Amino acid sequence: MSEPIAPRIVTAAVLLIGDEILSGRTKDANLGFIATFLGSMGIQVQEARVVTDDRDRIAEAVNALRRTYQYVFTTGGIGPTHDDITADSVAHAFGVPIGPHPEAMDMLTRHYEETGGEFTPARQRMARIPEGARLVANPISKAPGFQLENVFVLAGIPIIVQIMMDDIAERLESGAQMIARTIDCQVGEGAIAEELGDIQKRFPAVMIGSYPFFRDKQYGTSLVLRSVESVLLHEAVQATVDMVEKAGGQPVERDGS
């Protein structure tokens, strides 16, 4: 007789970066979301830290956490302003160089061409990515996060954290394989909210996320469907695509990663 296989414990830590939570002015909304999200994948958040915008403090926390837990998720500090030092701090923690990432530069160049904004040196800072890192997509405001080994560097704005978690879900080990599919469409989410809710009710095994965006001076919505059940996921995606078409929303399936 063989032993039963013990359930695999997958652990994680969350590192919130930024002065604003520590001053008491801002209540963090990301820890609860990330913990719940990971929990649904069987990944347990076992520690969280909040540090100021200080390179050495960030690097020290990143190194302590990445050696102790299977995954580390950071939030905040990847924007264009002087206090956005997370990417540099993470590069420092790993002892790797940092520089403009070609794909991130292309993506942001295109984004500012499309939106008519100037791709200033400050904005170009958002394409600085540590060597060896893999990008994390940001369909809302484009500036990417990144993954370096077991550390995931995310934005600070909760809605972007949420869509980034959807992007990286498939890179994480969990009890069962979670599959995500993303449908972009050209209607505001308010226009399809009820129908989407009905689809969610029909497919309780599929988690459906709805993320509004504003692009090319137009509102749109990214719909992210996740499930460990591939057949049900396929059916739910089909139902969603049909529903969006009926609403005149020109659904386009985007690559998961």
Show contacts with a copy of itself in window 225-254 (CB under 8 A): 226
Q: Does 42 bind a copy of itself (CB under 8 A)?
A: no
> Beta strand 43-51 with 98-100: parallel, antiparallel or unpaired?
unpaired
Q: What residues numbered 168-197 form the site for a copy of itself, per CB under 8 A?
A: 180, 182, 188-191, 193-194, 196-197
| List of long-range contacts for 51-57, beta carbons under 8 Å, 24+ apart | 51/15, 51/16, 51/17, 52/18, 52/19, 52/22, 53/17, 53/18, 53/19, 53/77, 53/83, 53/85, 55/85, 55/88, 55/89, 55/92
Minimum distance between the CB of residue 34 and a copy of itself, rounded to whole angstroms?
A: 8
Q: Does 21 bind a copy of itself (CB under 8 A)?
A: yes
Report which residue type is found at 256: G
Check: CB of residue 251 under 8 Å from CB of residue 244. yes
Q: Does 257 bind a copy of itself (CB under 8 A)?
A: yes
Minimum distance between the CB of residue 66 and a copy of itself, rounded to whole angstroms?
A: 16
Tokens 């801002």 found at: 26
Q: What residues numbered 96-125 form the site for a copy of itself, per CB under 8 A?
A: 117, 120-123, 125
DSSP 48-90: EEEE-S-HHHHHHHHHHHHHHSSEEEEES--SSSTT--HHHHH
Report which residue type is found at 97: P
Q: Does 23 bind a copy of itself (CB under 8 A)?
A: yes
Minimum distance between the CB of residue 124 and a copy of itself, rounded to whole angstroms?
A: 10
Question: Which stretches within the chain are classed as H helix?
Answer: 19-22, 30-40, 55-68, 86-94, 102-115, 121-124, 158-168, 193-202, 230-246
DSSP 195-214: HHHHHHHH-TTSEEEEEEEE
Piece in contact with a copy of itself (CB under 8 A), picked from 45-53, 89-97, 131-139, 242-250:
45-53
> Beta strand 179-185 with 252-254: parallel, antiparallel or unpaired?
antiparallel
Q: Does 128 bind a copy of itself (CB under 8 A)?
A: no
Q: Does 31 bind a copy of itself (CB under 8 A)?
A: yes
Q: Does 53 bind a copy of itself (CB under 8 A)?
A: yes
Q: How many residues lie near a copy of itself (CB under 8 A)?
A: 71
> Mask: binding to a copy of itself, 147-166, rule CB under 8 A, as x and -?
---------xx-x-------
Minimum distance between the CB of residue 112 and a copy of itself, rounded to whole angstroms?
A: 9
Any idea how long the chain is?
257
Q: Does 134 bind a copy of itself (CB under 8 A)?
A: no
Considering only 109, 135, 210, 234, the residue that binds a copy of itself (CB under 8 A) is 210
Piece in contact with a copy of itself (CB under 8 A), picked from 22-30, 91-99, 161-169, 227-235:
22-30
Q: Does 26 bind a copy of itself (CB under 8 A)?
A: yes
